[in-house]
Structure 1
Amino acid sequence: MAGNEPSVNFGNISGNNTFAVGSHAHAESHHHHGTGGPAPQLDEATQQLLAAVRELRADLAERVRGTDQTATLDEALAETESEITSTGQAGRTRRERLRELLSDSQALVTFLASAGALAGLLGM
């Protein structure tokens, strides 16, 4: 009976998962960006935005005493960085949220050059 039992084999090709199950199955291929796949191509404006987001995050960690407000801003910056690196862009609502948080942190924007640079890229 062991010779008649169907078998299933799984394989992994880096950056690409392809599989087929069953005697009449066909292979399905799915490409994922972010983890394991190629990074999306960023246009110059998005590259500048990503660099400004990363610089402000570093400044918040190194130069500013943490508050609830800076923690909220850092969380939004982290989400923006993740969105850009996984999709190749920061969506309109994400950029609007950053504008709102930076507007609420006007003293921070004045104090940190990185916050001012990001605000400029966001059209504030």
Structure 2
Amino acid sequence: MTSDNRSEPNVTLGDVSGSTFAIGSHAHAETRYGTAAPRSEETAQLLAAIRELRADLGRTRSSGGTAELDAALADTEDEITRTGSAGADRLGRLRGFLADANALTTVLTSAATLAGLLGR
């Protein structure tokens, strides 16, 4: 190693969120921006209810059940955001969590709203 800093490359990266870059003599970078997956009005309502319940869960005392419910909600939110809908298995899983959290659905309006939307 040499004490001459000029012989070593120096790269500084700032905030690169939303950016595309490549480093190196043969580097190649491509940027592809897509649009959100289209979703029906019913799915949009479901997504809004999921987000509202997740926000409400963040204001409650966490337990094993609420953590599992939040994880299932996060997975469903992600799937809807990526694909425009949620699969029947995932929605069934949410129904099960909400049935198990019956006390939660009577306390949180958002949980009751989501349970009603899933019951369609």
For the criterion TM > 0.5, the same-fold answer is yes
Question: How many residue pairs align between the two structures?
Answer: 95
- Aligned pair partner of 1:37 in 34, 37, 51: 34
Q: What's the TM-score, normalizing by structure 2?
A: 0.75
Q: Give the aligned partner of residue 8 of structure 2.
A: none
Cα displacement (A) at 1:37: 1.9
Alignment of 1:7-46 (within 5 A): 10-12=28-30, 14-15=31-32, 36-46=33-43
Alignment of 1:56-75 (within 5 A): 56-62=53-59, 64-75=60-71
**Amino-acid identity (%):** 54
CA distance in 2, matches of 1:97, 1:109: 16
Quick one: which amino acid aligns to residue 40 of structure 2? D
Q: Give the aligned partner of residue 48 of structure 2.
A: 51
* More strand per residue: 1
CA distance in 1, matches of 2:49, 2:27: 46
Quick one: which amino acid aligns to residue 90 of structure 2? R
Cα displacement (A) at 1:9: 7.4
Q: Give the aligned partner of residue 96 of structure 1.
A: 92
Structure scoring higher RCO (CA < 8 A, sep ≥ 6) equals 2
Which sections of structure 1, spanning at least 5 residues, go unmatched?
1-7, 16-35
Dislocated runs of 4+, deviation >4 Å = none
Q: What's the TM-score, normalizing by structure 1?
A: 0.72
SS for the counterpart of 1:82 is helix
RMSD: 1.5
Q: Give the aligned partner of residue 23 of structure 1.
A: none
- Aligned pair partner of 1:86 in 82, 88, 99: 82
CA distance in 2, matches of 1:99, 1:68: 17
